[in-house]
Amino acid sequence: MLDVRKDFPILSRRVNGKKLVYLDNAASTQSPRSVIDAVSDYFGNHHANVHRGVHTLSAEATELLENARREVAGFINATPEEVIFVRNTTEALNLVARSYGDAFIGKNDSIVLTQLEHHSNIVPWQQLANRTGAKLHYARINGEGMLEENHFAELLAGVPRITAFTGASNALGSLTPVRKMARLVRAAGAVSVLDAAQLAPHGGLDVKRLGVDFAAFSGHKLYGPTGIGVLYGRKELLEKMPAFLGGGDMIREVSWDSFTVNDLPYKFEAGTPNISGAIGLAAAVRYLSKIGLAHIARHEAELTRQTLDLFGQDERVVLYGPPASKRASIVSFNYGSVHAHDVASVLDSQGVAIRSGHHCAMPLMGLLGVPATARASFALYNTPNDVEALASSLKKVGKIFG
Ligand SMILES: Cc1ncc(COP(=O)(O)O)c(C=O)c1O
């Protein structure tokens, strides 16, 4: 078991008079001291605008930003020019839909998604379909909440242009066979877009090994700051895509009538970037690499298994999603007929932070036949004590609601 709680200052907080048990990690993870220090050092010692300045602070800020890009690129096994800094997963997916989609998708094309997707990986494609007339298809999931691989393969036989799929469902935890899917997509002549928001924090993201064309993830789910995320794109594809937002930094030259675009990755980074966010994200991936991603994945898998075992012993708990071996460290459940928000409120009174709601996956909730679930999600700093606190505060829900 990992013992890293001391690295996370917020975990010593009390909430409602109780020790904080933070189990809302699929929404946002907490940051270790090294991330907080890196951001603070930037603002305290090096803050200035990047890329344009001749003065020392500007050169230092530029170097810190570009070092951060190199570190993040190393973390995902990409080259720095393939790492586009964006605000979050949502913006990364929208960038692909707007730039690649508008340039290469037409009225007779189809786009394949899965029924596991977060709204961020549905709505941009719906908008693209609305703009172009392209058709959307969703690969089905089975009763366990796992992708029906045969149906996915069937949809690929329709020769889509783009397929976009998650590596791990934020609502059910279900893992998808990303490498196999990416191989099938390429064989079908389409490009693959991986929503890695939940995958990157649980075992890492090696874009070359997975063989995806694009991948998107957020810093705030990876122990880094909010407001920073990454779009990875294969260089060959990024090069032929038109720029998305226009403005400073993304241009090489501008005249009254026209502009020429800058090299990668700047072509897709219009305006002043989130410098401190990138520096914080680099500190986060450094921290994770030091601990070891495989180690983290094993630790979280064990906590997930313990939770599913404990919940399985309470007949009032309704569990959603596959067995522990097939999911990321996310456990979605309901408690008898108690609304998920009531469950979350009672747990909060005990200092236990979980999420409740539709988890930005309303179509998937519709398939489950519920408006909402409660969701506990684990990170590297959670412990078996946290699992016990979750289970015992759930008993309190039973007492209150009968
Ligand atoms: C699977 C998945 N995709 C996309 C997102 C959107 O991430 P962000 O809000 O950081 O853009 C989330 C966030 O919950 C997610 O879990």
Are 257 and 384 members of one domain? no
pLDDT of the residue at 128: 98
Q: Residue-wise over 110-128: b if at least 16 C-beta within 10 A, else e?
A: bbbbbbbbbbbbbbbbeeb
C-beta of 197 in contact with ligand 1 (< 6 A): yes
Condensed to tens digits (0 to 9), the pLDDT of residues 303-358 reads 999 999 999 999 999 999 999 999 999 999 999 999 999 999 999 999 999 999 99
**Which of 333, 375, 369 has its CA nearest to residue 352?**
375
- Residues in the chain, overall count: 402
Tokens representing 129 are 């379909």
Residue 30 lies inside a defined structural domain of this protein: no
**Tokens in use for 39?**
């951001």
pTM above 0.85, yes or no: yes
Residues 183, 105 share a domain: yes
C-alpha–C-alpha distance, residues 22 and 382, integer Å: 8
Assign residue 323 the CATH number of its domain.
Answer: 3.90.1150.10
Can you tell me the mean pLDDT for 48-53? Answer: 89
Same domain, 121 and 9: no
pLDDT at residue 402 greater than cutoff 80: no
Please tell me whether residues 206 and 223 are part of one structural domain: yes
- Block residue for tokens 């699992």: 387
Which of 290, 315, 338 is the last residue before a domain boundary? Answer: 290
Write down the pLDDT at residue 203: 87
231: exposed, middle or buried (C-beta count within 10 Å: 0-12, 13-18, 19+)? buried
Q: Is 166 in the pocket of ligand 1 (CB under 6 A)?
A: yes
Going by pLDDT thresholds of 50, 70 and 90, the confidence category of residue 67 is: very high
- pLDDT value of residue 52: 79
- DSSP SS3 for 98: helix
Check if 195 has its Cβ closer than 6 Å to any atom of ligand 1.
yes
For range 171-198, the mean pLDDT: 98
| Cα end-to-end distance, the chain, whole Å | 36
Q: What is the pLDDT of residue 291?
A: 96
SS3 per-residue string spanning 257-302? CCEEECCCCHHHCCCCCCHHHHHHHHHHHHHHHHHCHHHHHHHHHH
Of the pLDDT bands very low, low, confident and very high (cuts 50, 70, 90), residue 51 is confident
The reply to whether 327 falls in a domain is yes
- Average per-residue pLDDT for the chain: 97
Is the CB of residue 88 below 6 angstroms from any atom belonging to ligand 1?
A: yes
CB-based burial label for 373 (10 Å; 0-12, 13-18, 19+): buried
Of ligand 1's atoms, which has the minimum distance to the CA of residue 226?
Answer: 10
Query: Is 355 a pocket residue for ligand 1 (Cβ < 6 Å)?
Result: no
For ligand 1, mutation pick of 123, 198, 220 (most atoms within 8 Å of CB) = 198
Do 199 and 285 share a domain, yes or no?
Answer: yes
Structure tokens that stand for 99 in this block: 């730039």
> Which atom of ligand 1 lies at the shortest distance from residue 91's CA?
11
Among the candidates 268, 290, 312, a domain finishes at 290
**Looking at the domain assignment, is residue 267 inside a domain?**
yes
Separation of CA 242 and ligand 1 centre (Å): 25
CB of residue 90 inside a 6 A radius of ligand 1: yes
By annotation, the residues acting in catalysis are 360
Ligand 1 atom closest to Cα of residue 168? 1
What is residue 59's predicted lDDT score, i.e. its pLDDT? 96
The reported pLDDT for the residue numbered 363 is: 97
pLDDT band at 3 (very low <50, low <70, confident <90, very high): confident
Please tell me the predicted confidence (pLDDT) of residue 73. 98
What is the reported pLDDT for 341? 98
What is the number of structural domains in the chain?
2
Question: What type of residue is 196?
Answer: A
- Name the percent of the chain lying above pLDDT 90: 97
- Count the helix, strand and coil residues of the chain and give each as a percent rounded to the nearest 5: 45, 20, 35
Q: What is the pLDDT of residue 162?
A: 98
CA 256 / ligand 1 centre spacing (Å): 39
pLDDT bucket at 1, cuts 50 / 70 / 90: confident
Same-domain check for residues 163 and 86: yes
Angle between helices 340-349 and 384-401 (to 10 degrees): 120
Rounded mean pLDDT of 371-383? 98
Where do we find the tokens 């519709």? 366
**What residues make up the domain containing 285?**
35-290
Q: For residue 229, what pLDDT is reported? A: 98
What is the number of the ligand 1 atom nearest to the C-alpha of 169?
1
- Expressed in angstroms and rounded, the spacing between residue 340 Cα and the centre of ligand 1 is 20
The span from the CA of 347 to the CA of 151, in Å, is: 39
Q: Which two tokens stand for residue 265?
A: 């990755």
Ligand 1 centroid – CA 80 distance (Å): 23
Query: What is the Å distance from ligand 1's center to 27 Cα?
Result: 8
- What CATH number does the domain containing 81 carry? 3.40.640.10
In a domain, 29, yes or no: no
d(CA 214, CA 98): 14
Co-location of 334 and 324 in the same domain? yes
226 in the same domain as 101: yes
**Co-location of 208 and 356 in the same domain:** no
Looking at 239, 274, 290, the residue that finishes a domain is 290
